[in-house]
């Protein structure tokens, strides 16, 4: 059990759609070095909640949170939204997309480097497959050192090998850097049952 | 003869130096701005904003004529009107497009046509505005005054500095707006649109809608099709702007019958097309 003040505390929060329809209720806290998996059926409000949380953290003065979302201990976070798999007007290689967030992918970061192997790096974003694009976006969001990583459906489009790699990267970040992860996902990939890492599953729209 | 030709060239440079500097700086700034707007799928919004600026200028001049008179020297009034109009029309059309995504293109085209019609209504009714309308629409870069040119040069230079200083973050922001509608760095977004409005308004007011819109669209289009990386794109964009604008300006000075802005636009399209052709041939 991880103790101390949580990085993120959500109390009795109602997730509503953009037109105001009630989707589900959330009540959880996320401490440093912890992984929270948000699970639930399509339309249960996982992405809506993460998007709202991002807007809150991203707004000026938003670090203080609102009445039922407390984020005062949180200073740095990284967010990977779900993409619409669109082409981009400016031509970019997968490596350039990965390094857009003002960070450089170093070969020393072996686990992250494996996620975007050198044979993929010079490939153009607009002609890459969904899985290749997802690998590049994952590296982009995992490159900066942050307290909290908010990942929306990070396993989408990935093959088995990439899923395993990503789980390894996540667990390594938690163990070595004490980072926290809030992940919206439909599936619980193998390997997340690690006795050293606290992994909580929350079911949106159903019983926890 | 050579000496004479040299003297003539020197004189041309003396006379047109502020105009040449302003045209080059504006083309570079507008090309970078256009690339960011296109990356956010907002090229049409830029056209509408530019046309709204032209309408704002007409209404500003109209207010001047009917109140204090044209010779009074309240030169900032058309700029203020242009700024208010372009920002208001941008915000209204943006809101409408967000609500009705499926017909966003049609909304913007309708707004564009409506603004042209209103502009024409005013200028047709008041003959003294006709010349100003023609300048605001087609522009004449070579005949812009030295003070106007230096002002546009300063605005363009300021915009280029802003774009260069924030380039990576702006591309990052554009990428996520295009990919998922998420806005990273909201304060930077506000600053970006303020700089964009000022640049579009002043370029439309002083060098016309044609030059402004073409620089916003043609140059980024050429760089986008003709390159295969962000680095290549970022380097070729200012290069295309400088080469094509210099060629266009030079040709319009050599052949006096050619309109400067129209020649520059033709050269922007030609140079961009050649750039794409050459790069595709190589690959």
ipTM field: 0.85
Q: Is A38 exposed, middle or buried (0-12, 13-18, 19+ CB in 10 A)?
A: buried
Q: What is the mean pLDDT of residues B49-68?
A: 85
Interchain pair A81, B180: CB under 8 A:
yes
Find residues 29-88 of chain A whose CB sits inside 8 Å of chain B: 51, 54, 58-60, 79, 81-84, 86, 88
Name the nearest CA neighbour of A136 among A99, A85, A103, A182: A99
Interchain pair A91, B175: CB under 8 A:
no
Under DSSP, the state recorded for A80 is E
Q: Please, what are the averages of pLDDT over each run of 10 residues along chain A (208 residues)?
A: 73 75 79 88 84 79 63 81 86 93 70 87 93 93 90 90 90 89 84 75 65
- What's residue A206's pLDDT? 46
- What's residue A2's pLDDT? 55
Higher per-residue pLDDT: A146 or B28: B28
For B205-260, the pLDDT digits (tens) are 888 889 999 999 999 999 999 999 999 999 999 999 999 999 999 999 888 888 88
Nearest CB among B35, B183, B186 relative to A90 is that of B35
Q: What is the phi-psi region of residue B69: left when phi exceeds 0, alpha when psi lies from -120 to 50, beta otherwise?
A: left
CA distance B111 to A169: 50
Q: Per mean pLDDT, which of B44-53, B67-76, B137-146, B162-171 is the most reliable? A: B162-171
Cα dihedral B83, B88, B90, B96, rounded to 10, equals 180
Whether residue A21 contacts residue A48, with contact meaning beta carbons closer than 8 Å, is answered with: no
Under DSSP, the state recorded for A66 is B
Instruction: Determine the CATH number of domain B2-278.
Output: 1.10.3470.10
Query: What residues form DSSP beta bridges with A66?
Result: A69
For B119-136, the pLDDT digits (tens) are 888 888 887 777 766 766
Q: Which residues contact B277 (CB under 8 A, 6 or more apart)?
A: none
CA distance B186 to B192: 10
Chain B closest-CA separation from residue A92 CA (Å) = 4
**Domain-wise residue ranges, chain B:** 2-278
Biggest alpha carbon distance in chain A? 48
Whether residue A142 contacts residue A131, with contact meaning beta carbons closer than 8 Å, is answered with: no
């Amino acid at each position: 059990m991880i103790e101390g003040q949580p990085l993120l505390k959500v109390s009795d929060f109602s997730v509503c759609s953009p037109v105001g329809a009630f989707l589900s209720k959330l009540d959880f806290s996320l401490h440093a070095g912890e992984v929270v998996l948000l699970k639930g059926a399509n339309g249960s409000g996982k992405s809506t909640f993460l998007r709202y949380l991002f807007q809150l953290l991203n707004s000026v003065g938003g670090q203080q949170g609102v009445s039922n979302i407390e984020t005062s201990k949180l200073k740095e976070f990284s967010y990977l939204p779900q993409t619409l798999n669109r082409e981009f007007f400016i031509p970019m290689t997968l490596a350039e997309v990965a390094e857009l967030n003002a960070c450089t992918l170093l070969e020393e970061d072996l686990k992250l480097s494996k996620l975007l192997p050198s044979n993929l790096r010079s490939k153009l974003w607009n002609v890459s497959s969904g899985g290749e694009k997802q690998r590049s976006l994952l590296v982009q969001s995992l490159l900066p050192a942050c307290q909290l990583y908010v990942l929306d459906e990070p396993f989408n489009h990935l093959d088995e090998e990439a899923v395993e790699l990503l789980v390894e990267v996540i667990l390594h970040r938690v163990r070595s850097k004490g980072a926290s992860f809030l992940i919206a996902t439909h599936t619980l990939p193998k390997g997340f049952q690690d006795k050293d890492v606290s992994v909580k599953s929350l079911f949106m729209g159903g019983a926890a | 003869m050579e000496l004479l030709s040299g003297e003539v060239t020197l004189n041309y440079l003396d006379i047109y130096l502020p105009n040449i500097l302003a045209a080059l700086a504006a083309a570079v700034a507008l090309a970078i701005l256009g690339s960011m707007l296109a990356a956010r799928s907002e090229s049409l919004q830029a056209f509408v904003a530019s046309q709204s600026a032209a309408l704002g200028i007409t209404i500003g001049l109209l207010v001047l004529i009917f109140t204090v008179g044209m010779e009074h020297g309240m030169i900032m009034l058309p700029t203020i009107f242009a700024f208010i109009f372009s920002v208001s029309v941008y915000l209204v059309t943006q809101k409408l497009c967000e609500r009705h995504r499926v017909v966003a293109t049609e909304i913007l085209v309708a707004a564009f046509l409506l603004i042209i019609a209103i502009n024409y209504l005013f200028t047709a009714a008041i003959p003294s505005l006709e010349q100003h309308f023609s300048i605001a629409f087609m522009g004449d870069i070579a005949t812009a005054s030295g003070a106007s040119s230096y002002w546009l040069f300063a605005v363009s230079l300021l915009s280029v500095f802003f774009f260069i200083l924030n380039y990576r973050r702006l591309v990052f922001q554009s990428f996520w707006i295009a990919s998922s509608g998420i806005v990273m760095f909201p304060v930077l977004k506000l600053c970006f649109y303020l700089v964009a409005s000022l640049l579009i308004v002043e370029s439309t007011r002083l060098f016309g809608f044609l030059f402004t819109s073409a620089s916003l669209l043609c140059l980024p289009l050429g760089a986008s099709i003709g390159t295969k990386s962000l680095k290549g794109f970022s380097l070729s964009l200012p290069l295309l702007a400088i080469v094509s604008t210099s060629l266009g300006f030079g040709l319009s000075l050599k052949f006096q019958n050619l309109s400067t802005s129209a020649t520059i636009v033709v050269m922007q399209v030609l140079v961009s097309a050649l750039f794409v052709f050459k790069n595709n041939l190589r690959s």
